[in-house]
Amino acid sequence: MDLVLRAVAVFAFILLLTRVIGKRELGSLQPFDLILLIVLGDALQQGLTQDDYSLTGAVLVVGTLAVLQVLVSWLSYRFASLRPLLEGDPIVVLQDGKVIERNLRRERLTVEELAEAARGQQIAHLADVRFAILETSGTISFIPK
């Protein structure tokens, strides 16, 4: 039972951490971020199982995390009011070619990064964009004029 409670606590911590980190950071992983995630996974594993290296312990922890993920997904699907809390909301960062600075600051995103994402979608100038939306996945969707 101790392993299940630890898994619930770690899941809640990871859910909170991903909401605090923000969409931008999760949507664009740099090599350092990837290494940090691997180290984080190892540190979390040690906190989850302590000295329990049994197959039963591993199945309990992984099973608990999987059930919690399905539960969060179902709650998000079933109760629209929980969706912003669990998944976040898409945020408009550019409208009619004009950058919305407040929203960029909120998501720790620069105009240069926004322009880079636009170029990645074959858009040469931000003035050619009707809307740019930072999606909950961390990607930016552009709707041309």
Tens-digit pLDDT profile for residues 8-39: 888 888 888 777 776 655 555 666 666 777 77
Regarding predicted confidence, which is higher, 86 or 124?
124
Identity of the highest mean pLDDT range in 21-35, 39-53, 123-137: 123-137
Residue 145 has pLDDT above 80, yes or no: yes
What per-residue confidence (pLDDT) applies to 32? 67
- Cβ 3 vs Cβ 56: under 8 Å: no
pLDDT digits (tens, 9 = 90+) for 50-103: 777 777 887 888 889 889 989 998 998 999 999 888 888 899 999 999 999 999
Domains and CATH numbers, the chain: 2-86 (no CATH), 91-144 (3.30.240.20)
Instruction: Report residue 126's pLDDT band, with 50, 70 and 90 as the boundaries.
Output: very high
Please choose, from the candidates 108, 103, 131, 114, the residue with its C-alpha nearest in 3D space to the C-alpha of residue 21: 108
Q: CB neighbours of 64 closer than 8 A, spacing ≥ 6? A: 3, 4, 7, 8, 11
Q: What is the mean pLDDT of residues 41-58?
A: 76
Q: For 80, which DSSP code?
A: G
Q: Give the separation between CA 56 and CA 61, rounded to whole angstroms.
A: 9
Q: Give the separation between CA 17 and CA 9, rounded to whole angstroms.
A: 12
What per-residue confidence (pLDDT) applies to 30? 64
Regarding predicted confidence, which is higher, 37 or 128?
128
